[in-house]
């Protein structure tokens, strides 16, 4: 078909040259400018048909001019040197002009094609910005690329979800194609198969791959891959933001429920304790009855303490606790904690080390008592029998460092950050002592409210130590 069209265009150009030559030969006054007329025909052929058609027509024009000139002058073309020069100049000018015309036409076609691709890229960008990010974008991206760029087939691989999304017809497995591009990081374009491969990257980090089959250029494929990467990033950012908001609302609801439950439990616990105390005061109880009443008092006290912790935790998380910061002697705080835990520590060995006996801390005294109580209670639960619990306080820069050291089971490295999370209990602890996993989270929250921090160290030889760093002077923003 192309050969036939080429032949027809060349034949038509030569026929027009012959007609123009005949008319110019018949009217003698037109013959001197016939060469210009032939040149115009060659230029029009180059513009409308192409370079090689113009070459054929220009050679035909030279032959026709030589033929009519020979008839008119009765001389051979080679006999006149000027005629030879004229022919050579004509051929060079014709070929040069036709070549320039073909180049301009090619540039115009390329510009038109690139303009169409830019329009497609703009449309693809606009459509991706309007996507619903509540759902995974992979399938919709594949369909958009297939539709907008009129491709035969598209495959998009999301490495995070390990899913391949395809559109169009693939003669081979698109999953294998897309995964190979991602894992081997092969970005190229194959002119023979028309397949373009791109690694989808966020910065320098690969997050997926793109495989297309169709008429797109390297720059377009690069742009499509970049837009897919941006859409993946937007989807993950949106999902993360939604998850954080959901967790915040869940935490707020949990704190509200805890607060309500703690208040609800306080009333019946108070009634139970009052009733058991009344029974003791009434007297005339047998030994068995007295033991039962004592057990009721002990368990009521334990429930009351747990309820207080829940209530305090809920208020700390909700930010409803107001810090009453005032200067307090560290030694006095420790003495009050030990006095409150006198029965709990009756069978324990306790050592207190104060590097500065006169150390004064600007803090909320009751909250600090709560923090140390949690640390010491935790040490009592897990320390080995006969070992010493050491409470130590020293000054480091502008912080008072509290530590409660004991010998017991080693806390695994993986648990040392999470152990301060609410309800989390180390796997080494869960079967050794009862507990709720609330106490250490309360201690952490108290330290954070004061602008401090908590951490733990644990070693088989050195033992386990829980630390709390509390600034000696609290900022005004934290005391409100």
- Write the DSSP string, 438-457: -HHHHHHHHHHHTT-EEEEE
Q: Is the Cβ–Cβ distance between 327 and 362 less than 8 Å? A: yes
78 band by pLDDT with thresholds 50, 70 and 90: very low
80 band by pLDDT with thresholds 50, 70 and 90: low
Which DSSP category does 355 fall into? S
Closest CA to 436 of 424, 420, 419: 424
Domain chopping of the chain, boundaries? 2-112, 136-320, 326-478
Of 58-72, 187-201, 384-398, the one with minimum mean pLDDT is 58-72
Higher pLDDT, 27 or 190: 190
CB atoms within 10 A of CB 45: 29
Q: Is 394 left (phi over 0), alpha (psi -120 to 50) or beta?
A: beta
What is the structure's pLDDT at 75? Answer: 42
What is the structure's pLDDT at 313? Answer: 64
Helix, strand, or coil (residue 131): coil
What is the structure's pLDDT at 97? Answer: 67
Q: What is the pTM of this model?
A: 0.44
Task: Give CA–CA dist 209/225, Å, rounded.
Answer: 8
- Which class would CATH give 326-478? alpha beta
Q: Taking 70 as the threshold, does the pLDDT of residue 425 lie above it?
A: no
Distance, C-alpha 343 to centroid of its chain: 53
Q: Taking 50 as the threshold, does the pLDDT of residue 430 lie above it?
A: no
Strand partners, 393: 354, 402
Q: Taking 90 as the threshold, does the pLDDT of residue 468 lie above it?
A: yes
How is domain 136-320 classified at the CATH fold level? Beta-Lactamase (3.30.450)
What is the structure's pLDDT at 77? Answer: 44
Q: Is the Cβ–Cβ distance between 472 and 330 less than 8 Å? A: no
Higher pLDDT, 211 or 79: 211
CB atoms within 10 A of CB 289: 12
What is the structure's pLDDT at 319? Answer: 57
Higher pLDDT, 155 or 71: 155
CB atoms within 10 A of CB 395: 14
Which DSSP category does 476 fall into? G
Q: Is 295 left (phi over 0), alpha (psi -120 to 50) or beta?
A: alpha
Task: Give CA–CA dist 213/189, Å, rounded.
Answer: 10
Tokens matching residue 168: 């169009």
Helices (H), 208-217: none
What is the structure's pLDDT at 431? Answer: 45
198 band by pLDDT with thresholds 50, 70 and 90: very high
What is the structure's pLDDT at 315? Answer: 63
Task: Give CA–CA dist 114/473, Å, rounded.
Answer: 66
Closest CA to 94 of 151, 52, 126: 52
When pLDDT is averaged across residues 275-286 and rounded to a whole number, the result is 76
Q: Taking 80 as the threshold, does the pLDDT of residue 433 lie above it?
A: no
Helix, strand, or coil (residue 173): coil
What is the structure's pLDDT at 13? Answer: 82
Q: Taking 70 as the threshold, does the pLDDT of residue 52 lie above it?
A: yes
When pLDDT is averaged across residues 167-187 and rounded to a whole number, the result is 87
Tokens matching residue 352: 């207190």
88 band by pLDDT with thresholds 50, 70 and 90: low
Residues 123-158: tens digit of each pLDDT: 888 888 888 878 888 899 999 999 888 889 999 999
Closest CA to 470 of 449, 450, 443, 441: 450
Higher pLDDT, 446 or 323: 446
Looking at every residue in the chain, the average pLDDT score rounds to 79
Of 90-99, 239-248, 333-342, the one with minimum mean pLDDT is 90-99
Residue 42 to residues 7, 35, 68, 85, 104: CA-CA distances in angstroms? 15, 11, 18, 19, 15
Q: Taking 80 as the threshold, does the pLDDT of residue 34 lie above it?
A: no
When pLDDT is averaged across residues 251-277 and rounded to a whole number, the result is 69
Distance, C-alpha 150 to centroid of its chain: 30
Residues 93-131: tens digit of each pLDDT: 666 766 776 677 667 677 666 666 778 888 888 888 888
Q: Taking 80 as the threshold, does the pLDDT of residue 39 lie above it?
A: no
Higher pLDDT, 114 or 404: 404
Percent residues over pLDDT 70 in the chain: 77
Tokens matching residue 115: 């303009």
Of the CA atoms within 13 Å of residue 168, those in its CB half-sphere come to 24
Task: Give CA–CA dist 329/337, Å, rounded.
Answer: 13
69-96: b or e for each residue (b if 16 or more CB lie within 10 Å)? bbeeeeeebeeeeebeebbeebbeebbe
Q: Taking 90 as the threshold, does the pLDDT of residue 454 lie above it?
A: yes
Task: Give CA–CA dist 421/437, Å, rounded.
Answer: 8
477 band by pLDDT with thresholds 50, 70 and 90: very low
Distance, C-alpha 163 to centroid of its chain: 17
Q: Is 132 left (phi over 0), alpha (psi -120 to 50) or beta?
A: beta
Residue 63 to residues 19, 38, 52, 270: CA-CA distances in angstroms? 14, 11, 17, 122
Higher pLDDT, 366 or 471: 471
């Amino acid at each position: 078909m192309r050969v036939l069209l080429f032949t027809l265009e060349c034949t038509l150009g030569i026929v027009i040259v012959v007609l123009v030559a005949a008319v110019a030969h018949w009217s003698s006054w037109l013959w001197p400018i016939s060469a210009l007329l032939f040149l115009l025909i060659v230029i029009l052929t180059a513009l409308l048909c192409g370079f090689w058609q113009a070459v054929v027509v220009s050679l035909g024009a030279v032959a026709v001019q030589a033929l009519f000139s020979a008839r008119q002058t009765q001389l051979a073309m080679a006999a006149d040197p000027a005629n030879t020069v004229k022919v050579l100049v004509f051929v060079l000018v014709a070929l040069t002009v036709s070549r320039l015309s073909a180049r301009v036409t090619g540039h115009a076609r390329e510009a038109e094609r690139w303009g169409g691709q830019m329009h497609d890229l703009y449309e693809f960008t606009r459509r991706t910005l309007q996507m619903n990010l509540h759902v995974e974008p992979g399938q919709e991206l594949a369909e958009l690329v297939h539709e907008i760029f009129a491709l035969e087939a598209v495959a998009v691989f999301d490495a995070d979800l390990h899913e391949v999304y395809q559109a169009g017809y693939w003669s081979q497995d698109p999953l294998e194609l897309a995964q190979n591009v991602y894992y081997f990081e092969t970005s190229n374009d194959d002119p023979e198969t028309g397949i373009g491969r791109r690694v989808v990257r966020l910065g320098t980090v690969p997050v997926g791959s793109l495989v297309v089959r169709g008429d797109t250029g390297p720059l377009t494929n690069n742009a499509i891959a970049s837009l897919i990467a941006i859409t993946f990033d937007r989807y993950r950012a949106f999902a993360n933001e939604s998850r954080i908001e959901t967790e915040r609302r869940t935490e707020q609801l949990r704190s509200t429920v805890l607060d309500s439950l703690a208040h609800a439990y306080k009333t019946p616990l108070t009634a139970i304790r009052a009733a058991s105390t009344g029974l003791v005061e009434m007297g005339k109880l047998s030994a068995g009855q007295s033991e039962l009443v004592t057990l009721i008092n002990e368990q009521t006290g334990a429930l009351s303490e747990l309820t207080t912790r829940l209530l305090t935790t809920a208020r700390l998380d909700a930010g409803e606790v107001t810090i009453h910061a005032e200067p307090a002697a560290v030694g006095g705080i420790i003495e009050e904690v030990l006095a409150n835990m006198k029965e709990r520590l009756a069978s324990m060995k306790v050592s207190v080390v104060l590097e500065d006996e006169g150390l004064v801390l600007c803090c909320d005294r009751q909250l600090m008592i709560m923090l140390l109580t949690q640390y010491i209670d935790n040490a009592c639960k897990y320390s080995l029998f006969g070992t010493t619990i050491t409470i130590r306080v020293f000054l480091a820069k502008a912080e008072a460092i509290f530590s409660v050291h004991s010998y017991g089971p080693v806390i695994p490295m993986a648990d040392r950050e999470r152990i301060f999370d609410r309800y989390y209990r180390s796997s080494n602890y869960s079967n050794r002592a009862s507990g709720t996993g609330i106490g250490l989270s309360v201690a952490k929250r108290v330290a954070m409210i004061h602008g401090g921090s908590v951490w733990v160290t644990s070693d088989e030889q050195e033992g386990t130590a829980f630390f709390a760093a509390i600034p000696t002077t609290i900022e005004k923003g934290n005391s409100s």
